[in-house]
Structure 1
Amino acid sequence: MSGSEPAPVEDRRDSWEGPVPIPSGANETFWEATLEGELLYQRCEECGTSQLYPRAVCTGCGTTDPPFETSEGVGTVYSYTVCHVPGEPGFSDRTPYAVAAVALEEGPRLLALLDCDPEAVEVGMPLEVTFWQVSEEAAIPVFVPR
């Protein structure tokens, strides 16, 4: 996902058995963009704080409705865990799997599923976003090695 080029969106609606996001309020714009292969984050115009997941207020200064910007969709593994016991319904066929705190180049971090061999994951590993469409309203960001 470089420049204005969207990331791939793979339709997983028929096979996904995990949790499904329900867009509402401050996160509706975020989830709409995922269906188009875009990863959005918020950057406050008042204090410069960047944040993800979407919120109605800036976590830095409390300004309401911080605007969205489009991420390049690249970052690195900040921290991770390998799950050997499924923590959510729909993940039993996936174990073991890796979940990482991904540090985006723009600054914010988000927790995301990694689509790769969990034994290959390491802190600092470069990643890029892809999306799995899991409903008519949302595609979840999933990261793969760059």
Structure 2
Amino acid sequence: MNPRLLLALLPLLLTPLAQAADCANASTQTAMNQCAAQQHQAADKELNTLYQRITQRLKDNPDGKKLLVSAQRAWVAFRDAECGFAASGVAGGSVYPLIYSNCTTDLTKARVEAFKTYLKCQEGDLSCPVPGN
């Protein structure tokens, strides 16, 4: 790669890191909204990783996998509707993205914990829908 091009692109490459570091000191509504969105993205990424692990464990159980997909779609619809309602008091305002993102992050983190529980199932536990390792 051309060294001049790399130097020109360096600030763009470091910008996400700088923005992430500023979240602790976010003082504008825009910055707080961006930080809340970043937190949701991180939680969603963890959720997707766990979801993939669960679907992998269900590879020999197509009916169970189908139920998981259905449950996850319903959960996403619930999360979005619930957070739309929770943030409705500030609809149209500049704080709406913050309130909405905080809600989706909280619900996503709760779903992450549920998925982690599924991944700890012990062999022979009939109350657990995900087979152990």
Question: TM-score when scaled to structure 1?
Answer: 0.19
- Between Structure 1 and Structure 2, whose CA radius of gyration is higher? 2
Choose between structure 1 and 2: higher strand proportion. Answer: 1
Choose between structure 1 and 2: higher helix proportion. Answer: 2
Question: TM-score when scaled to structure 2?
Answer: 0.20
